[in-house]
Amino acid sequence: MNARLSPDAAAALYAKSDVFTLGKMAHEMRLALHPEPVVTYIVDRNINYTNICVSACKFCAFFAPPGSEKGYVLTPRELAAKVTETVALGGSQILLQGGLNPDLALPFYTGLLSFLKALFPDVAVHGFSPPEIAYLAEKSNRSINRIIAELKAAGLDSIPGGGAEILVDAVRQAVSPGKCDAATWLEVMRQAHGLGLRTTATMMFGQGETLIDRIEHLDKLRALQDETGGFTAFIPWTFQPGNTRLDAPEASSCEYLKMLALSRLYLDNVANIQASWVTQGPMIGQLALYFGANDFGSTMI
């Protein structure tokens, strides 16, 4: 495929193509971008430093509201123990994320990063999603740029693409009204890229949005990547309905593979597409490598 897909062309291609046809096209593009017989992955650990959150997203099975007896904030000692285990298992990175906790101020985050880097200088910290950063900027009355700069100075290495869900405000208002809007999510990433931090981008689909919404999401990511070049990878996955308040039918494995393939074709300026074996299972994760993905993501210690 030589011509860049437009939103209308992408919608038509998705509608008229079966999963195998779309997968073949995406796999050919993957091989053109990555002709070497290599699938990349990383040994790392997902650490949630707090589950206390004011956002109350309907799709979340993780959060506890402020004041809940189920809420927690990891102590530095608890965090260090988790990183020590990660290093012992060959890990080289931690994914550090949490809820929008109203009791945690900027010194907590910078102190946490400084503490980790002092103990584990060779462990990369891939941390703090755009909604966390936007929330921190809002409650501390500082700019997004200033917050990211201080986090980077304290030891932040890169930023995950969490909290994107679908970058269409009508969808976000329906399922996660307490989170930042689409423009703010994109602005966090724009500022991060401008400060020299690389980031990933994500999409969680199957929460009641339309195909047009999904393509608008991809189009916004592609436009920002044209501007900054700061996204290293794109990771789509499907909404997991267990223990959540969101009533939406679960997307099938076939739908996941088809959307993955379309993502590879549409995001012609993003080098890597990651398979989501965690949500789809190892077998579909392996199949994803023939539907446009070239990266297998994290081992999820």
DSSP secondary structure string for all residues of 64-86? B-TT-TT--B--HHHHHHHHHHH
Which tokens hold the place of 268? 């012609």
* Cα 131 to Cα 150: distance, rounded to the nearest angstrom: 17
pLDDT per position as a tens digit, 236-272? 999 877 665 666 678 899 999 999 999 999 999 999 9
Q: What is the mean pLDDT of residues 228-236?
A: 99
SS3 per-residue string spanning 225-259: HHHHCCEEEEEEEECCCCCCCCCCCCCCHHHHHHH
Neighbours of 160 (CB within 10 A): 21
Q: Considering the domain boundaries, does residue 36 fall inside one?
A: yes
Band the pLDDT of 60: cuts 50, 70, 90: confident
CB 100 within 8 A of CB 135: yes
CB neighbour list of residue 257: distance below 8 Å, 6 or more residues apart: 19, 23, 284, 287, 288, 291
* C-alpha pair distances (Å), 52 with each of 83, 140, 269: 21, 18, 36
Q: Considering the domain boundaries, does residue 289 fall inside one?
A: yes
Q: What is the mean pLDDT of residues 124-150?
A: 98
Q: Considering the domain boundaries, does residue 125 fall inside one?
A: yes
At residue 150, the pLDDT reads 99
At residue 29, the pLDDT reads 98
* Cα 288 to Cα 280: distance, rounded to the nearest angstrom: 10
Q: Considering the domain boundaries, does residue 2 fall inside one?
A: no
Q: Considering the domain boundaries, does residue 1 fall inside one?
A: no
Q: Considering the domain boundaries, does residue 206 fall inside one?
A: yes
* Cα 293 to Cα 274: distance, rounded to the nearest angstrom: 5
Residue 163 Rama label (left phi>0; alpha psi -120 to 50; beta):
left
pLDDT per position as a tens digit, 75-105? 999 999 999 999 999 999 999 999 999 999 9
Say which CATH number the domain at 275 has.
Answer: 3.20.20.70
Which tokens hold the place of 291? 């539907």
* Cα 49 to Cα 166: distance, rounded to the nearest angstrom: 24
Count structural domains, the chain.
1
Q: Considering the domain boundaries, does residue 181 fall inside one?
A: yes
**Closest to 160 measured CA to CA, from 128, 115, 117:** 128
Band the pLDDT of 116: cuts 50, 70, 90: very high
* Angle formed at CA 143 by CA 140 and CA 147, multiple of 5 degrees: 70
Q: Considering the domain boundaries, does residue 273 fall inside one?
A: yes
Q: Which residue type sits at 121?
A: P
At residue 245, the pLDDT reads 63
pLDDT per position as a tens digit, 7-38? 999 999 999 999 999 999 999 999 999 999 99
Under DSSP, the state recorded for 49 is S
At residue 242, the pLDDT reads 62
Q: Is 217 exposed, middle or buried (0-12, 13-18, 19+ CB in 10 A)?
A: buried
CB 288 within 8 A of CB 261: no
Phi, psi for residue 96 in degrees, rounded to 5: -110, 110
**Closest to 167 measured CA to CA, from 193, 192, 185:** 185
Helices then strands (H, E): number in the chain? 12, 9
* Cα 222 to Cα 203: distance, rounded to the nearest angstrom: 13
CB 113 within 8 A of CB 77: no
CB 182 within 8 A of CB 212: no
CB 38 within 8 A of CB 271: no
Which domain does 69 fall in, by range?
7-298
